[in-house]
Structures are given as structure tokens and as C-alpha cells.
Amino acid sequence: MSKYIVVSSELVPYIDKIVKAYSDRKVVITTLTFSKVLKKGVVNPSHLLDQNVWIRAYSHKPVKIGGLDEADSESVLVAQELSAELLTNDEKIEKVAKELGITVLHFL
């Protein structure tokens, strides 16, 4: 079990439940995921920070991988970089992550 869990963009609206369910780990979202959910108005940025969620960028210029959008690609790459588990319910993201050797967890 990793000490980090990276959350893909479609699950950010459930951040309260995720933080509670994974209270033993550091919950991470990426900068591009943060930007994506802000544009959609799905979450209050102050609330994310109040939940002690880390917002982290990929250490290199993120690239699109496996046909994923930039935000989901960055989530996969950050999970790989941190040796973290990736939390997603999206089959396409899961497939790409597993091909890179990332452990994928589902939520809900």
C-alpha cells in the first residue's frame, strides 16, 4: 500500500468521502485536474485545501498518453512518479495506468 493516492478528475466531486475513506494516506490531485474541475465549477478550491488535499504537478511537461486528456494523463504520470495508487472509475484511465504498472483502485 502506498502512502499516496492520486485522484482522477471524475472523482474530485467526491473528495470529502475520499479523504475520509483514505484517511491513512495523503490524497493528491494534479494541477491540471484542479484546473479542469475549477473550470467546470465542480468544487470550491478553498474546500479542497481545507481537506488537506495536495495539489501537485508532474515534474516534467505532461504529455497526453493513451488517448487520455491532459488532466487524466497527468494524474497517471504523477501516480507513477510518486509510486502511488490511482483512484479512478474510468476504464480508459485504468487501462493506461495498469499498462504502466500502476495499482488502480475504484471508488463508489
Give the residue, 33 or 2, on which the prediction is more confident.
33
Q: Which residues of 88-102 are buried (b: 16+ CB within 10 A; e: fewer)?
A: bebeebbebbeeeeb
In this prediction, what percent of the chain has a pLDDT beyond 90? 71
Looking at residue 30, its pLDDT comes to 95
| Domains of the chain as residue ranges with CATH | 4-105 (3.40.50.1010)
How confident is the prediction for the chain on average, in pLDDT? 92
Q: How far apart are CA 69 and CA 108, in angstroms?
A: 23
